[in-house]
């Protein structure tokens, strides 16, 4: 198996990476940073997000698997002390039979500098920097609302437990083919109105955000961010591509939700 390891920049994660290399080397595993079959992350959810954006051009042939060295997240399934068991499963079971695929957010941003596309594993956001963000929001090319507030968050089902949840959005099972739109501190009074709740769009639907001209805006895709003075349009939909997670052990999403937020 060809693999690569992406680690958080701390001593514990680096030591675990060296330990993994030593365990798999006698079995013919090869480090291949260019064309890995498996991307192993050691750290937290942020480390896996970093790895995802590093390998978005290989989503159809690469699986992702995480070992967490901090608090239990939603993407890093394994504890450090389980590494020997993980290696045993990797040697005895077919990786392709353990893969599950989850939808992503397809993003296209048009600015005065041109157009650029991204994929988001968690979410993308558009926020006002100096003042309230004013924008026209269209759903499937039809005007839905004239929005005023701090910003808008568009999340994948996997990302529904992240920033979306803090905005009051719904937690969605990661297999659901859709995206969620959540308002960030919207203005609602007798003059300005918005829905005030999150919206779920199914596959083949899309949303477009048209900010008012000459606004200073912060645009983020997962942990990546940039500022823009002139954004013409932000378009989001369910991506054709999916992320492939390698689940060597049974994964129950609702148990993970309970562990993270209730227990």
Give the residue numbers marked as catalytic: 45
Token pair 């501190």 is found at: 185
Q: Which residues contact 105 (CB under 8 A, 6 or more apart)?
A: 119, 120, 123, 124, 154, 155, 156, 159, 179, 236, 237, 238, 239
Q: Which residues contact 223 (CB under 8 A, 6 or more apart)?
A: 46, 49, 50
Number of H helices, E strands in the chain: 5, 15
Pairing of strands 199-202, 206-211: unpaired
Confirm if 120 and 131 have CB atoms less than 8 A apart: no
Candidates 106, 116, 125, 151; CA nearest to 221 is 125
* DSSP output for 1-30: -EEEEEE-SSHHHHHHHHHHHHHHGGGT-E
Confirm if 80 and 16 have CB atoms less than 8 A apart: yes
Report CA-CA distances (Å) from 17 to 8, 9, 140. 10, 11, 46
Q: Which residues contact 158 (CB under 8 A, 6 or more apart)?
A: 74, 75, 102, 103, 121, 122, 174, 243
């Amino acid at each position: 198996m060809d693999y690569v390891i992406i680690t958080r920049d701390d001593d514990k994660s680096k030591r675990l990476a060296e330990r993994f290399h030593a365990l798999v080397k006698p079995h013919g595993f090869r480090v291949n940073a260019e064309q890995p079959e498996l991307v192993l992350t050691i750290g937290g959810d942020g480390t896996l997000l970093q790895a995802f954006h590093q390998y978005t051009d290989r989503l159809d042939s690469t699986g992702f698997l995480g070992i967490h060295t901090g608090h239990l997240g939603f993407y890093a399934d394994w504890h450090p002390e389980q590494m020997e068991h993980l290696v045993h499963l990797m040697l005895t079971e077919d990786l392709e039979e353990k893969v599950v695929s989850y939808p992503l957010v397809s993003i296209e941003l048009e600015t005065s500098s041109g157009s650029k596309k991204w994929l988001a594993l968690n979410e993308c956001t558009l926020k006002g920097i100096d003042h309230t963000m004013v924008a026209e929001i269209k759903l499937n090319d039809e005007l839905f609302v004239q929005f005023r507030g701090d910003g808008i968050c568009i999340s994948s089902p996997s990302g529904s437990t992240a920033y979306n949840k803090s905005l009051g959005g719904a937690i969605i099972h990661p297999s659901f083919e859709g995206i969620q739109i959540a308002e960030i501190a919207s203005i609602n009074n007798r003059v300005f109105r918005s829905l005030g709740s999150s919206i779920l769009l199914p596959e083949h639907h899309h949303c477009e955000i048209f900010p008012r001209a000459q606004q200073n805006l912060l645009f983020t895709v997962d942990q990546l961010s940039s500022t823009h003075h002139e954004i013409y349009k932000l378009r989001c939909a369910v991506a054709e591509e999916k992320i492939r997670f390698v689940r060597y052990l049974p994964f129950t999403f609702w148990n993970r939700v309970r562990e993270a937020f209730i227990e």
